[in-house]
Amino acid sequence: MTYAQAAKLQPNEIVLLKSNGAQFKVKSIEFDPDNKIVFIRDSDDKMHHCSELEFPKTSTGRKNSVYVRTLIAKVINASEADNWENAVQEWAIAGCIEDKSKSHSCICGKEELVYLFTIRNEINGNILFPIGSSCIKKFEREDLSEQAALHEQMFKLYHAVESGRFISLNSEYFSRKVLKHLYDVGAFNTKHNRFNGTVDYEFMLKMFNKRDKKGITEAQHRKIRAIIVASIKPYLEKTLQDKVTPA
């Protein structure tokens, strides 16, 4: 770690020793500007020369920006684990809202977030908000990345059906995961099918899986549209309408 990098450290930021990879939180910083040396004090009041330290990295080994370092520090500080690799396993997505005004900043410091996620620590109950999907991806957990992407897809589908535009059963708004999610949450269960949405879900999945969409008949198109209007649209309005803040 260079003098310039160390000079920008903040209390509670996470650094690690080059010699053994041990991580610790910065307690305080002492400067020797004449010799361009920075000493960092850890929580045990031990002093470390800045050249002995480096910033933690995500498991992919990418060089971390100040945003990533801020993210790492805030997640570890709110976790039970004292290292990034274990801390990220403690968190789950608790919700998401869409902010059209882009007036919020991520916990890492990045501005103009559109999708504001809440994550909750499943061990101690701590909450971090708002966090963007880019930072959630840095947890490098496939389940969280897929959930974040699904939340964003649901908002896009909601706006499409609300606008009244014609929606095709294609990958612009749908995916197998989107359809499965809608089925799992009961979106296909309506009085039109006696609250058993299995047949409608299987029909939509079959139509989506068709490679040649030109082979879908006019009657099938009408049924697709009916399911979107009678089942999917009401569900999206019920669950997402109050989670969109105006521009």
What pLDDT was estimated at residue 186? 96
Closest CA to 223 of 158, 185, 169: 169
Sign of CA dihedral 69, 72, 75, 79: negative
pLDDT band at 5 (very low <50, low <70, confident <90, very high): confident
pLDDT band at 64 (very low <50, low <70, confident <90, very high): low
What pLDDT was estimated at residue 39? 81
What pLDDT was estimated at residue 60? 46
- Residue 79 is classified by DSSP as S
Q: Per DSSP, what are the bridge partners of residue 131? A: 117
pLDDT of residue 59 exceeding 70, the answer is no
Mean of pLDDT over the chain: 89
pLDDT of residue 119 exceeding 80, the answer is yes
Q: For residues 54-68, b (16+ Cβ closer than 10 Å) or e, as one string?
A: ebbebeeeeebeebb
What pLDDT was estimated at residue 61? 44
pLDDT of residue 210 exceeding 90, the answer is yes
- Give me 115's structure tokens: 């999708």
Note the pLDDT tens digit of each residue in 16-54. Answer: 788 877 777 788 888 777 777 788 888 788 888 878 888
